């Protein structure tokens, strides 16, 4: 019996810009030149037990107009048990891949797959949030929200920042089976790292507004797919990237982090 089911995607890709989503929520997005293999956790995008969707967009490398002849992508969904001191491999529950390239240039490739997850939780997230495609001037509201976050961090208002992301942290802690102490440690470590000399890099009009989560979530992204909100420590040459997923709860006019 698996007490704390922990789902991951184990994938390998060659020469592509890869975006993967679980239930229409991005879980990986990166320009991958050469061959890359890695494993990513996906529990944070599984809101409850039942059928789950995995979709993948395989695009040309940045600056190119078609997929290379040697572009490849394959992945598996694995179920692990996270109830012990260490995560133990249990079983592979799904495999998928793009077809072999025939030599004819392709502008892109999209695919989807499904698997069934059984989890001991149901997250109160964006299931019933408002349809953001129906919100007029959404980009304006999103830009204002990011500006407020940037100002908050720049002014050292870390208690306000922690309160703003509390719901997100609650859901991550539930999906990842973290203790209350571990949840608090996540935020504390982020704040303490920022205090070591990191400065906010302002978002700009060049950042792309991405609506996802079946039209219930919105974020700003850089052209390379990374989250738009970042901080730089110029002295050390280090960068912190902060992912923000925003939604509009029913009956509310204010965007919130979820």
Whether residue 258 contacts residue 246, with contact meaning beta carbons closer than 8 Å, is answered with yes
In this prediction, residue 120 has a pLDDT band, given cuts at 50, 70 and 90, of: very high
In this prediction, residue 105 has a pLDDT band, given cuts at 50, 70 and 90, of: confident
137 plus 252 within the same structural domain: yes
252 plus 138 within the same structural domain: yes
The answer on pLDDT for 254 being more than 90 is yes
Residue 13 falls within a domain, yes or no? yes
The 10 Å Cβ neighbour count of residue 241 is: 12
The answer on pLDDT for 87 being more than 90 is no
Residue 137 is predicted with a pLDDT of 96
109 plus 136 within the same structural domain: no
Residue 123 falls within a domain, yes or no? no
Residue 36 falls within a domain, yes or no? yes
Residue 118 is predicted with a pLDDT of 96
Express each pLDDT in 183-198 by its tens digit: 999 999 999 999 999 9
Residue 83 is predicted with a pLDDT of 85
- Average pLDDT, stretch 69-91? 89
* pTM of the entire predicted model: 0.93
159 plus 230 within the same structural domain: yes
- Average pLDDT, stretch 13-31? 96
* Total number of domains in the chain: 2
Express each pLDDT in 127-137 by its tens digit: 999 999 999 99
233 plus 136 within the same structural domain: yes
Residue 220 falls within a domain, yes or no? yes
Residue 124 falls within a domain, yes or no? no
Containing structural domain, residue 78: 5-117
Q: Using the structure block, give the residue that is written with the tokens 């209350």.
A: 180
Q: Final residue of a domain: which of 84, 117, 150?
A: 117
90 plus 191 within the same structural domain: no
Residue 26 falls within a domain, yes or no? yes
The answer on pLDDT for 44 being more than 80 is yes
The answer on pLDDT for 40 being more than 80 is yes
């Amino acid at each position: 019996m698996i007490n704390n089911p922990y789902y991951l995607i184990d994938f390998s890709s060659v020469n592509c810009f890869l975006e993967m989503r679980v239930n229409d929520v991005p879980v990986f997005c990166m320009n991958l030149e050469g061959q890359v293999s890695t494993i990513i956790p996906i529990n944070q995008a599984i809101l409850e037990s039942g059928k789950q969707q995995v979709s993948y967009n395989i695009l040309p490398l940045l600056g190119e107009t078609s997929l290379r002849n040697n572009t490849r992508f394959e992945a598996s969904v694995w179920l692990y048990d996270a109830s012990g001191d260490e995560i133990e491999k249990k079983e592979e529950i799904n495999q998928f891949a793009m077809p072999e390239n025939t030599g004819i240039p392709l502008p892109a490739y999209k695919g989807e797959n499904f698997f069934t997850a059984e989890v001991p939780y149901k997250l109160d997230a964006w299931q019933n949030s408002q349809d953001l495609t129906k919100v007029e001037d959404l980009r304006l509201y999103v830009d204002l929200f990011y500006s407020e976050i940037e100002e908050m961090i720049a002014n050292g208002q870390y208690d306000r920042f922690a309160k703003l992301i509390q719901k997100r942290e609650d859901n991550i802690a539930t999906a990842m089976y973290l203790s209350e102490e571990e949840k608090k440690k996540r935020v504390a470590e982020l704040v303490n790292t920022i205090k070591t000399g990191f400065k906010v890099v302002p978002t700009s009009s060049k950042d792309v507004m991405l609506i996802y989560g079946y039209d219930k979530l919105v974020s700003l992204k850089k052209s390379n797919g990374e989250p738009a909100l970042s901080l730089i420590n110029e002295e050390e040459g280090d960068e912190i990237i902060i992912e923000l997923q925003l939604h509009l709860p029913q009956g509310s006019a204010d965007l919130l982090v979820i």
